[in-house]
Structure 1
Amino acid sequence: MVNGTESIMNQLSDNELIKACRSGDENALGTLIQRHLSAVYRFIFRMIGDRPVAEDLTQETFLKIWKSIRRFDPTKSFRAWTFAIAKNVVIDYLRKKKHLTFSEIENDEGQDIADTIPDIQPLPPEILERAELAQDIERALLELSPETRSIILMHEMEDFTFQEIAGVLKKPMNTVKSRYRRALLVLRGYLENLAPKKQ
């Protein structure tokens, strides 16, 4: 019977699930969380660069969603509302930790997290190059302001339109587009500056 309930819940739209949540249906809330959990975690992790902190902030995001689900406007996008809450949770966290620069994400022993991944076996050069590029992009993203970083991540990783991002950030769409373009230039410059150092 539980599988049948899960199957039915998975077929419901976000707004139908929210309606069920407001009626006290915990299965509906669980389905909503499962539906959006990995995208929200991915977004927060890329904003922060620290897995345990990203897990905590993802939990905090969904706790805030649960507490304020009755205030959600069903004429709006639940996905956009969820990302707006996630972005605010991240910004609050970064404000509390503002003595850290975005490129100083380290483990407890003071090592750069990227340097702590063990080398099990040699990798083919193409895979190594792709992995290095991914690490370089992660580092470059951490150089951007949190709001600009969120624009890049929502557009590139989560397929938000500029209009949806403007709604999440409560900014004019032209402002979002211009910040996006400037951020791409900054990222390109950062990555180009890294290239000569690696040769």
Structure 2
Amino acid sequence: MGDVIPDMRGAVSSAIALAHAGELDNAAIARGLKRHDTELLDYLIETYQHRLMRYLMFLTSRREVAEDLFQEVWIRVLKRGSQYDGRARFDTWIFTIARNLVIDLSRKRVMASLDEMREGGDDERPFEIVEDSPSPLDQFEFRENAAELQKVMLTLEPSYREVLSLRFHEEMALEEISQVTRAPLSTVKSRLYRGLAALKPELTRLRALRISEADR
């Protein structure tokens, strides 16, 4: 913890203690990042590493690329931590950083239609949405079958699998997904429902399999 000046050691220790108790809030994270608190950064990496890698994998479909971007995300957090003010959730902020890095990379390398993740593209087509959120059955089945569905999700359009991952894996509200993706709420809803529609055959197959196993 060499970057933390001596008279702040007590405050930092308290922050980490609260973190391990699950009580570290966004404001405390913001204060720690402004101090370049390396112990706090280690804690954040440990806490968010699996979620962040999963998100990057869904965006890029390539582990080596996701691993490189994962490292770059935390370099950005270290360098630009003072820009985080604690008003938004910390995970929303780092997922936004990750997404921007993927888009920057897509400008340099040919990747699978990542430009469609910007406003426009498929979302210009009319799409009627009856409900504001997936049905309870959709949510339950997605979470229950998450492991089986991951391989199927990787075959979907990047914009669809991104929203599905943020909604069901990260349990973000639609408004938060809109912030991360910088897309209108209506666009987020469109992508979510198109993605769910693409997964419906697999959800139906898994549901039938569960019923069959239960009847044995």
Contact 2:58 2:158 in 1 (8 A): no
Contact 1:15 1:78 in 2 (8 A): no
**Where in structure 2 are the equivalents of 1:59-138 lying within 5 Å?**
59-98=71-110, 134=148, 137-138=149-150
Instruction: Give the alignment partner of residue 26 of structure 2, picking from 14, 27, 33.
Output: 14
Secondary structure in structure 2 of the residue aligned to 1:83 = helix
The 1:148–1:73 alpha-carbon spacing in structure 2 relative to 1, beyond 3 Å, is farther
Aligned to 2:133: none
Residues of 1 paired with 2:77 and 2:167: CA distance?
22
Residues of 2 paired with 1:99 and 1:160: CA distance?
26
Q: 1:157 aligned to 2:176?
A: no
TM-score by length of 2: 0.62
Contact 1:87 1:150 in 2 (8 A): no
Aligned to 1:119: none
Task: Could you list the structure 1 runs, at least 4 aligned residues long, displaced by more than 6 angstroms after superposition.
Answer: none
Contact 1:166 1:176 in 2 (8 A): yes
The 1:13–1:173 alpha-carbon spacing in structure 2 relative to 1, beyond 3 Å, is same
Deviation at 1:101, TM superposition (A): 7.8
Aligned to 1:181: 193
Aligned to 2:51: 39
What are the superposed Cα offsets for residues 44-89 of structure 1, whole Å, 9 maximum, x if unpaired? 1232333332221111111112222111232122111111111222
Aligned to 1:29: 41
Q: Give structure 1 stretches of 5+ with no counterpart.
A: 103-129, 195-199
Contact 1:80 1:164 in 2 (8 A): yes
Instruction: Give the alignment partner of residue 51 of structure 1, picking from 59, 63, 66.
Output: 63
Deviation at 1:173, TM superposition (A): 1.7
Contact 1:18 1:29 in 2 (8 A): no
What are the superposed Cα offsets for residues 144-173 of structure 1, whole Å, 9 maximum, x if unpaired? 333332111101111111111011112222
The 1:142–1:91 alpha-carbon spacing in structure 2 relative to 1, beyond 3 Å, is farther
Secondary structure in structure 2 of the residue aligned to 1:183 = helix
Equivalenced residue count is: 161
The 1:151–1:159 alpha-carbon spacing in structure 2 relative to 1, beyond 3 Å, is same
The 1:99–1:22 alpha-carbon spacing in structure 2 relative to 1, beyond 3 Å, is closer
Give RMSD over aligned pairs.
3.2
Residues of 2 paired with 1:182 and 1:21: CA distance?
38
Instruction: Say which is worse superposed, 77-86 or 45-54, in terms of deviation.
Output: 45-54
Deviation at 1:139, TM superposition (A): 4.5
Q: 1:168 aligned to 2:180?
A: yes
